[in-house]
């Protein structure tokens, strides 16, 4: 069993708990991270930190899907505490005072735990509200200030945007409100103990310790979360499936779309795949010849590829094997080459992405490769498993930059001869 810890500014990697043999440390969690093949069904995930606006955030259904696979989820300290409070009814195990505050409803929202980070590492550069709240509670207990003044000071500190809530900003707010005594007291406590009032760190350590001693496994066993297999989830999971083939680390989805777009024999392969699904349905129903199933569905008046549009699970080896049966080494090298061209375009021009490619450019690619008139585009897209032309256009956008570069190179070479 491996304990996967997603952590950033809440807990430095130098902490001894993160050096345990069973622990694998990951950067703050983002959308797609829980699909990593390294995370298997008998593992535990400790979610502490996650990204907010610098990259797509981890979705709730990704966590639910992971728990549905039997993986134990522990949350604490930061976004992990908030997600644990939200998903506790489904089996996510929360640890620490921050989690408890979220669970009771004392605090809500990710602004309570957000911090500014150093651009080159995971160090926190600002104070999160949960730590300031804790420091004020301790100050009230030691009669450094009374409760009404502490409440007013907390509201003033909350008004400072979190990336700007540095220690200098905290002192400035204290001075502006006439709370210099509290600022000096907090400064002195921090000199005596650099971790003073660092509730996020304390909760993060407690969460890793909980995972190491097996407490989370016992708590999670009490709840059996349902499997979440929505259309969105399948799309997310397909997008992150990768495989090492012939020394190339390739997206399985890219490989499939390449076959759909560029292999002239793919319509036959898609027809064979539909026949296979009809004979071996995944819902446990009786197998039928595709022609018979088609007769039941529409009287046989339409081709099968216009009637049946199965969802593909690219995590399934049999599905991938059937659909990529005609793939060649040359195809895989082309997929890698086109991915490199797109990556270079992104580096050169911020904001460039496959999604930003004009529909007309992708449509022209398809018409060129398929050698069909535009009025036949819907028929050709369905025969290749896209369902409709709009889906084919969207999928083909990832190859436009590479296709154009190759076309221009070939034209230049021909002109040179």
Please name the residues in contact with 190: beta carbons below 8 A apart, sequence gap of 6 or more: 196, 197
What residues contact residue 105 under an 8 Å CB cut-off, 6+ apart? none
Write out the two tokens for 226. Answer: 């349902």
> Which position has the token pair 């001693």?
213
Give dist(CA 225, CA 64) in Å, integer. 7
**Residue for token digits 């779309």?**
257
CB 356, CB 362: distance < 8 Å: no
- pTM given for the model: 0.67
Q: Would you state the pLDDT for residue 222? A: 46
Phi first, then psi, for residue 24 (nearest 5°) are -120, 125
State the pLDDT at residue 233. Answer: 74
- The torsion angles phi and psi of 190, rounded to 5 degrees, stand at -70, -30
Residue showing tokens 């989805």: 253
Each as own residue / partner, the long-range contacts of residues 239-242 (CB below 8 Å, 24 or more positions apart, any chain) are 239/32, 240/32, 240/35, 240/36, 241/35, 241/314, 241/315
pLDDT score for 39: 92
Handedness of CA 154, 158, 159, 161 (dihedral sign): positive
Distance of CA 136 to the CA centre of its chain: 36
Is residue 81 within 8 Å of 204, Cβ to Cβ?
no
d(CA 169, CA 74): 33
| Pair 404, 345: CB distance under 8 Å | no
Residue ranges for the chain with pLDDT beneath 50: 218-219, 221-222, 224
Interacting residues of 335 by C-beta distance below 8 A, sequence separation 6+:
248, 250, 251, 254, 255, 258
Rounded distance, CA 123 to CA 51, Å? Answer: 14
**From the CB of residue 120, how many other CB atoms can be counted at a distance below 10 Å?**
6
Q: For residue 14, count CB atoms less than 10 angstroms from its CB and return exposed for 0-12, middle for 13-18, buried for 19 or more.
A: exposed
Location of structure tokens 């502006």 = 176
């Amino acid at each position: 069993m491996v304990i996967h810890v997603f952590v950033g500014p809440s807990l430095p990697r130098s902490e001894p708990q993160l050096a345990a043999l069973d622990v694998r440390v990951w950067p703050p969690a983002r959308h797609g991270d829980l699909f990593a093949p390294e995370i298997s069904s008998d593992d535990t995930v400790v979610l502490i930190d996650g990204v907010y606006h610098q990259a797509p955030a981890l979705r709730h259904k990704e966590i639910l899907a992971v728990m549905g696979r039997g993986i134990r989820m522990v949350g604490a300290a930061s976004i992990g505490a908030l997600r644990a409070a939200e998903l506790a009814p489904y089996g996510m195990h929360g640890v620490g005072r921050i989690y408890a505050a979220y669970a009771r409803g004392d605090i809500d929202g990710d602004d309570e735990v957000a911090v500014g980070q150093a651009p080159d590492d995971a160090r926190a550069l600002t104070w999160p509200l949960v730590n300031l709240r804790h420091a004020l509670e301790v100050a009230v207990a030691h009669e450094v200030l009374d409760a009404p003044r502490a409440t007013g000071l907390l509201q003033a500190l909350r008004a400072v945007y979190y990336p700007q809530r540095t220690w200098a900003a905290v002192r400035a707010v204290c001075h502006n409100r006439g709370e210099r005594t509290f600022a000096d007291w907090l400064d002195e406590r921090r000199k005596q103990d650099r971790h003073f009032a660092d509730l996020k760190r304390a909760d993060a350590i407690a969460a890793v310790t909980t995972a190491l001693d097996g407490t989370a496994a016992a708590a999670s066993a009490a709840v059996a979360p349902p499997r979440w297999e929505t259309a969105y989830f399948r799309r997310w999971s397909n997008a992150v499936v990768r495989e090492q083939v012939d020394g190339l680390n390739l997206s399985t989805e890219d490989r499939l779309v390449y076959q759909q777009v560029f292999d002239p024999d793919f319509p036959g392969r898609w027809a064979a795949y539909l026949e296979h699904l009809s004979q071996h349905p995944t819902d446990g129903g009786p197998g039928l010849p595709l022609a018979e199933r088609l007769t039941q569905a529409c009287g046989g008046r339409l081709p099968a590829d216009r009637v049946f549009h199965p969802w593909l699970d690219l995590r399934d080896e049999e599905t991938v094997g059937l659909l990529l049966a005609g793939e060649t080494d040359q195809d895989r090298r082309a997929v890698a080459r086109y991915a490199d061209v797109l990556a270079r375009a992104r580096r050169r021009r911020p904001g460039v992405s496959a999604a930003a490619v004009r529909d007309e450019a992708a449509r022209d690619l398809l018409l060129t490769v398929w050698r069909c008139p535009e009025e036949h585009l819907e028929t050709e897209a369905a025969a290749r498993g896209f369902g409709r032309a709009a889906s084919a256009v969207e999928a083909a956008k990832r190859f436009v930059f590479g296709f154009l570069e190759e076309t221009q190179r070939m034209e230049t070479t021909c002109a040179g001869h």
